[in-house]
Structure 1
Amino acid sequence: MTIQNDSFDRRRLRSTRERLPRAASLRTIAALVLREMSVTYGRTPGGYVWAVLEPALGVTLLVLIFSAGFRTPPLGTNFGIFYASGLLPFFTFISISIKVQQAINYSKQLLNYPRVTFMDALLARLVLGTLTQLAVSALIFTFLLTMFETRTVLHLDRLLNAYAMAIALGFGIGVLNCLLISRHAIWGTVWSVITRPLVFISGVIFLHESIPEPYRSWLEWNPLVHVTGESRRAFYYSYVGEYVDPVYAYGVAAICAVAGLLMLQSYYRDLLER
């Protein structure tokens, strides 16, 4: 009986030791999220309000510009919901990728503490970016669907899939850029220049089917095209979007994330000394 009790105690102690790092990591991530919230949104007047106004103003600007030149949008009858369905998932990708790629530089001092790992910093910025963008998107979509006759039928599962792809791509590319920017600061400027045309080649403003071949097939290598296509399918039941391939988008995100994490695992200690 004594031997059995000793064996049970050892198993319980081992289980407790395995749970402690996980609990500590969760507390660390929560603390980093709260710190990020206070620094990003809490120190400026209307910080949280601007997080909503920025994408709302972007949608409004597109509506004003294109409604002046066209009677109807490429899909449906409401300009607002058409551009919101493309712009908001796109903003989600941009926001999360920017936050994640600055995780090491932003939390460099905290990473010197043994309980704070680079994964904690990455996940904290991912969590905050995701929660913020989902809340903003929910507010804007709710406003548009409530205040206007959009003549759309929302398929929530497809919309969530579109956002999941945007979040996964934002995290994967953000992790990969996190190493590159930390090692070569100039890469941040180069990347911002490279990605400026993305809003035009990701199906945000123009419907993907309106682009002639062979450019249409070339653009399908851009995973964001699949994100906006899935988001449009979530609102427009008649929109088929045969080109949409979630497996491809998730695959690109996974490859970037794994490659970035493996390289960070090898080099992030060197980055802290820079």
Structure 2
Amino acid sequence: MAAVKSRSKLQVWGDVIIAIFLREIKSKFNDKVGISWAVISPVSFIFALSMMRNTLSGGRDVHGMSTFLFMMIGMTLIQFFLITMNSTANAVTKNKQLFSFRQVQPISAILAIAGLEFLIKLFVVIILGIISYLFSLDIAINDPLEVIVNLVKLWLIAVSLGTILAMAYCFVPELKKVTEIITKPLFFISGTFMSLQDIPEKYWHYLTWNPILHIIELTRYAAVTQYGNSGVSDFYVNVITLTLFSFAISCYHISWKQAISH
């Protein structure tokens, strides 16, 4: 009789995440273009808008930073946040039929989809770097480690908010429409197209509640120190990240069983 190989809960959990990860890749990129479109689409969009803004500004710097790099950082980070949050928010309802299996829990779907979005955006950043090098564009990064740390913080915020919304969608599906309306202005109030330093200081408090704005501006500062970090705080980002992450874990722990049976 063949011996039955037992697996630990951690191994089972890892296998489930990998299986959902591969399933997500197949379902998301099942056309002829395949997964490459997930990189080509945002790269072309970011590159086109960045070049357009650079041309319209006459190639002038934005507070010591090239217009192209200024736009590229803003566009990449805001896209990363919105796509990751929305994908994570839909992870539970999208994979609800899988939760009939005892080994599969909603957190597995959330981690698999959030991890896929992180890898996709990493490829986008690499491709943008290669294109910039080929076009001889100045994209020297002063502190690449800080840029990576900021990217991880933004990912954690997006996944945390996505997890909270994922639980809420199971009880109130109509919240998806509300989320779409609320998140649209983020593209314009997160410093994507305009620096906080271009706005009079007396109006900063209307915008600086937004941690995405802080991360985008701090990432620009990490790339080019001459850009400055006026009005933004790394401490504020850390507090918001830890708070949202803790709140998301608590919401998930309290409601996941009711959410999948609702």
Name the counterpart of 2:17: 29
Does 2:39 align with 1:39? no
Per-residue displacement from partner, 1:162-193 (whole Å, max 9, x unpaired)?
20121111111111111122211121111111
Does the 8 A contact of 1:172 with 1:255 survive in 2? no
Give the structure 1 partner of residue 49 of structure 2.
Answer: 62
Q: Distance in 2 between matches of 1:80 and 1:39?
A: 34
Instruction: Kindly indicate whether the alpha-carbon contact (under 8 Å) linking 1:76 and 1:150 is maintained by their aligned counterparts in 2.
Output: no
Corresponding residue of 2:218:
230
CA separation in 2, counterparts of 1:135 and 1:60? 14
1:107 aligned partner: 95
- Is residue 87–residue 162 contact of structure 2 (8 Å, CA) maintained in 1? yes
Contact kept, 8 Å, 1:226 with 1:249, in 2: the verdict is yes
1:169-227 CA distance string (max 9 Å, x none): 11111111111222111211111111111111111111111111332233111000111
CA distance in structure 2 between the aligned counterparts of 1:44 and 1:80, rounded to whole angstroms: 32
Q: Which residue of 2 aligns with 1:4?
A: none
Whole-angstrom CA distance in 1 between matches of 2:167 and 2:128: 34
- Number of the residue aligned with 2:238: 250
Aligned to 2:40: 53
2: CA distance, partners of 1:153 / 1:146: 16
TM-aligned CA distance change 1:167 to 1:238, over 3 Å:
same
Letter in 2 for 1:25: W
Q: Aligned letter for 2:9?
A: P
SS in structure 1 opposite 2:227? Answer: coil
Report the Cα offset of residue 37 of structure 1.
Answer: 0.8
Are the counterparts in 2 of residues 208 and 216 from structure 1 also a CA contact under 8 Å?
yes
After TM superposition, the structure 1 = structure 2 runs for residues 49-198 of structure 1, keeping only pairs within 5 Å, are: 49-71=36-58, 72-76=60-64, 78-150=66-138, 152-198=140-186
- CA distance in 2 between counterparts of 1:89 and 1:245 reads 17
1-structure distance, mates of 2:237, 2:143: 20
Distance (Å, rounded) in 1 between the aligned partners of 2:125 and 2:141: 17
Q: From the superposition, tell whether residues 131 and 26 of structure 1 become closer, same or farther in structure 2 (CA, over 3 Å).
A: same
The CA deviation string for residues 49-68 of structure 1, in whole angstroms up to 9 with x for no partner, is 22122222322342354244
Structure 1 57/184 Cα, relative in aligned 2: closer, same or farther at 3 Å?
same
Compared with structure 1, are the counterparts of its residues 162 and 77 closer, same or farther at alpha carbon in structure 2 (3 Å cutoff)? closer
Q: Secondary structure at the match of 1:148?
A: coil
The structure that has the greater radius of gyration is 1
Percent identical residues: 20
Question: For residues 68-110 of structure 1, what are the alpha-carbon distances to aligned partners after superposition, in whole Å with 9 as ceiling and x for unaligned?
Answer: 4321242456433221111112211112111111111011111
Q: Secondary structure at the match of 1:238?
A: helix
Which of 213-222 and 52-61 deviates more?
52-61
CA distance in 2, matches of 1:151, 1:273: 50
Q: List runs of 5+ in structure 1 lacking aligned partners.
A: 1-16
Could you say if the C-alpha distance between residues 157 and 73 of structure 1 is closer, same or farther in structure 2, counting changes exceeding 3 Å? Answer: same
TM-fit CA distance, 1:151: 6.1
**Residue 158 of structure 1 contacts residue 233 of structure 1 at CA under 8 Å; is this kept in 2?**
no
Specify whether residues 60 and 139 from structure 1 end up closer, same or farther in structure 2 by C-alpha distance, changes over 3 A only: closer
